[in-house]
């Protein structure tokens, strides 16, 4: 199930690197679409935020099983994209997340941990 994922966030484009940043976006879309077609991930989506004085400027979310997500973010092609993004964009980062049934399981474990205190 696609109860796991990773969110990639970024800020504004570094000055003078706008064209390369657009190329990175297109390369990322291609990477993600190929990963879906190859069953490396289950799905992905993205949002670009309206202009604001602070980050983030956008977010891309990758969904899959826990194993798919771990393998995807540890793969050379993903790591290459993150490295390129850091050279072209401010505030690049990524974090894993849980959703759906995994989120409910996570809160159940958290609740048990609280009760054990």
d(CA 43, CA 32): 8
What stretches of 10-61 show up as alpha helix (H) in DSSP?
18-37
Second CATH level (architecture) for the domain 4-115: 2-Layer Sandwich (3.30)
11-38: average pLDDT: 97
Answering whether pTM is above 0.95, one says no
pLDDT in tens, 39-98: 999 999 999 999 888 889 999 999 999 999 999 999 999 999 999 999 999 999 999 999
Tell me the domain boundaries of the chain: 4-115
């Amino acid at each position: 199930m696609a109860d796991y994922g990773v969110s990639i966030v970024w800020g504004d484009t570094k000055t003078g690197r706008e064209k390369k940043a657009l190329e990175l976006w297109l390369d990322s879309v291609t990477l993600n679409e190929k990963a879906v077609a190859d069953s490396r991930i289950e799905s992905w989506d993205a949002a670009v935020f309206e202009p604001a004085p602070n980050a983030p400027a956008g977010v891309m979310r990758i969904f899959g099983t826990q194993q798919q997500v771990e393998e995807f973010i540890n793969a050379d092609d993903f790591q290459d994209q993150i490295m390129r993004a850091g050279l072209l964009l401010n505030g690049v980062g990524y974090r894993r997340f849980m959703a759906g049934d995994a989120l409910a399981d996570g809160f159940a474990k958290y609740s048990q941990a609280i009760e054990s205190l």
